[in-house]
Structure 1
Amino acid sequence: MKKKMLFMALLGGLNGILVKAQVGNVGISTASPGSTLTVNGSFAATYKTVTASGAIGANDYYIAYNGTADGTLTLPAAINGAGNFAGRTYHFKNTGGKILTVSANGSELIDDQNGTGLGVPAITVPPGYYAFLVSKGTTTGTTWELVLVSSSNSIPSAESTYPFSAVSTTTRQMCDATATPSSPWIMTAITYPQGTVLNKGNVLNTSTGAFKAPNDGYYVIQGSTQFDNGSVAGNPNFTWTVLYLVKNYAPGNGGSILVQSYQPTVTRVFGSSISCMTYLSAGETVSMASVAGVSSGNKYEVVTSTMFGYKIAN
């Protein structure tokens, strides 16, 4: 040990750098290292640019992907026992114009904190985005943890923010009309019997039409529908319509209206859209709902409805 420390001191002296050991700590350019390794100066690690798919090696640290086609970079396989690299970090930046996929090795998974408790085999890093991962030291299941995915302007990647998109096109939804805009309104949540296009973490209930926030944060929600009485008996005109985004909707008593679009229109077919950004606590819901008056009868229909959104920040 004395010979090793003497060699380190000699090496440091030859390079004009102070290397100091103190109470089990090692310091570079400092005589009083307060941590296991203290560097009083700059730090550099391997920077590498790649243009094609391949494996990430033990000597890699920061990898910039600049390929002309979509590519996949595969993380190293976990090691059990001697050689286990718990805590190893990798940084990825997609500096090109194609999609970069960072994949775990074999059956290993990446813990992307998606709210399901399950990992994913790979993450997507779109052009201009950065990803930071750390090895958990485990050898099965989620062996890697995704620390951060972000773009150059710090907006989180949709891959990690619960995007959803629901659509119901040819299926018409029959609703009860309200006599006048000033009477107690009959609010009806719009549902999506034809299912979803995208529903990460099953955050949208298509049978009730409610999006449920998997965790606290700020969310963007947008929706649209077509009020269409073409198949209603008598083909009544709409006398007015309202489209809502409602927090914590419940049949019979509505909920907290986030935003509404009122249209005093007289027509048989009318399209309306709505959007908002709101803060939701985990478990709170947002539904798109409608109210309408008709020139005759007490029914109206909506068709070609869609709602989509995603989390934008904590």
Structure 2
Amino acid sequence: MRKSLFFMALWAGLCSINAQVGNVGINTPNATSTLTINGSFAATYKTVSTSGTVGANDYYIAYNGTGTGTLTLPAAINGTGNFAGRTYHFKNTGTGDLYIATANASETIDNQNGAGVTQFYIPSGYYAYLVSKGTITGTTWELVLFSSSNSMPSVNQAYLFSTAQQNAFKQNCTATTGPSWDKTEIKYNQGMQINTGNVLDLSSGRFKAPTDGFYMIYGSAQFDNSEVSGQPSFDWCVLYLVKNFVTTPNNQLVQNFHVDPGMFAAGIVSAVVHLNKDETVSMAAAAKLKNNPGTQYQVTATSIYGYKIAN
């Protein structure tokens, strides 16, 4: 009989909480909000090391994997079961790459950078906080906060790269002879190299963005015709940084232009650019020779370096 009375009382208490009208207080008689807690608060803390699906009972997930992992958010629900306002916290505590992805292509994450993305990248040491908007298509999730617990991203997070050609190596380039300027990508098959994640293709000279974000790129080169037959002077020469290199259209980010510099000219270029994953930046040169029918000029002491500065 006592057990029956106990369970009846417990059930009545649960029902009264479910049907409570007004403010509810825990450990306080004076509830000043819909729910007021005078004490600590705890929610689920979970550690994972591989890809998986984020569940309804998850709250804070720490990813400690050493390889690439993807955590997939739950699919939106229309009507009964809609979980508008549900929050998730993620931190990459491992050394691998972590991606947070939506359940399908019709759902995106509002990251305040365009129409929304179906996934975003969390580097090691970074944290992200998301909330469900309750919508079932379009931007169904909102990225509230994205931050780092590190005061400065480490080298492997910044994708630092650097390479330099020495004076002993001179690259032959095709000079402009007609109305259309000929651009030549500069390659780096000699010199000291820092190449985090192999982001710089030394054979083509192209930096390829490993993730979406903003990148700082610097480049320099010496135009030098001292070893070209006849030692021709330059009518003009120009150094570029080019996004997604092609001859046409002219996707130049910045240029350094010299008119009638003689046989030698130095160029320095730099730019901050947003790149989507796998987009490229190259340093390139163009030049026209003065009073000389030749079609060849040379660049030397070329270098390029850069790093990721923000998502």
- Which TM-score bucket, shorter chain as reference? 0.5 to 0.7
Compared CA separation, residues 276 and 139, structure 1 to 2 (3 A): closer
Select 1:63's aligned residue among 61, 64, 83.
61
Compared CA separation, residues 68 and 223, structure 1 to 2 (3 A): closer
For 1:137 and 1:224, locate their aligned partners in 2 and report how far apart those are by CA, in whole Å: 47
**8 Å CA contact retained: 2:88, 2:130:** yes
Compared CA separation, residues 244 and 191, structure 1 to 2 (3 A): closer
Which amino acid in the other structure matches residue 79 of structure 1? I
**8 Å CA contact retained: 2:125, 2:150:** no
For 1:107 and 1:242, locate their aligned partners in 2 and report how far apart those are by CA, in whole Å: 43
Q: Give runs of aligned pairs for residues 148-297 of structure 1, distance below 5 A.
A: 148-153=145-150, 197-198=208-209, 221-230=216-225, 235-236=231-232, 268=264, 273=268
Cα deviation for residue 38 of structure 1 reads 1.4
Report what 1:130 is aligned to: 127
For 2:207 and 2:55, locate their aligned partners in 1 and report how far apart those are by CA, in whole Å: 39
For 1:126 and 1:200, locate their aligned partners in 2 and report how far apart those are by CA, in whole Å: 10
Which amino acid in the other structure matches residue 7 of structure 1? G
**8 Å CA contact retained: 2:216, 2:307:** yes
Cα deviation for residue 235 of structure 1 reads 3.7
Cα deviation for residue 108 of structure 1 reads 3.8
TM-score (ref. length: structure 2):
0.54
**8 Å CA contact retained: 1:48, 1:64:** yes
Q: Deviations over 1:81-100 (max 9, x none)?
A: 01100111111111111111
For 1:170 and 1:69, locate their aligned partners in 2 and report how far apart those are by CA, in whole Å: 41
Q: Deviations over 1:195-245 (max 9, x none)?
A: 9844988x9xxxxxxxxxxxxxxx87432132425499954568xx99999
For 2:298 and 2:29, locate their aligned partners in 1 and report how far apart those are by CA, in whole Å: 74
Report what 1:212 is aligned to: none
Moved more, 75-84 or 98-107: 98-107
Which amino acid in the other structure matches residue 130 of structure 1? Y
Report what 2:200 is aligned to: none
Moved more, 29-38 or 125-134: 29-38
Report what 2:248 is aligned to: none
Which amino acid in the other structure matches residue 82 of structure 1? T
Which amino acid in the other structure matches residue 126 of structure 1? P
TM-score (ref. length: structure 1):
0.53
Which amino acid in the other structure matches residue 75 of structure 1? L
Compared CA separation, residues 312 and 75, structure 1 to 2 (3 A): closer
Cα deviation for residue 109 of structure 1 reads 3.4
Task: Flag structure 1 segments of 5+ consecutive residues without an equivalent.
Answer: 12-20, 158-168, 175-189, 204-218, 246-259, 278-287
Q: CA RMSD of the aligned region, Å?
A: 5.4
**8 Å CA contact retained: 1:67, 1:98:** yes
Compared CA separation, residues 72 and 226, structure 1 to 2 (3 A): same
Compared CA separation, residues 88 and 70, structure 1 to 2 (3 A): same
For 2:220 and 2:69, locate their aligned partners in 1 and report how far apart those are by CA, in whole Å: 38
Which amino acid in the other structure matches residue 139 of structure 1? I
For 1:200 and 1:69, locate their aligned partners in 2 and report how far apart those are by CA, in whole Å: 15
Compared CA separation, residues 52 and 134, structure 1 to 2 (3 A): same
Compared CA separation, residues 83 and 101, structure 1 to 2 (3 A): same
The size of the alignment, in residue pairs, is 233
Report what 2:42 is aligned to: 44
1:116 alignment partner, SS class:
coil
Report what 1:7 is aligned to: 13
Report what 2:22 is aligned to: 24
Cα deviation for residue 47 of structure 1 reads 0.2
Q: Are 1:104 and 2:102 matched, yes or no? A: yes
Compared CA separation, residues 34 and 67, structure 1 to 2 (3 A): same
For 1:223 and 1:26, locate their aligned partners in 2 and report how far apart those are by CA, in whole Å: 59
What is the percent sequence identity of the aligned residues?
A: 49
Compared CA separation, residues 73 and 33, structure 1 to 2 (3 A): same
Compared CA separation, residues 59 and 306, structure 1 to 2 (3 A): same
**8 Å CA contact retained: 2:109, 2:117:** yes
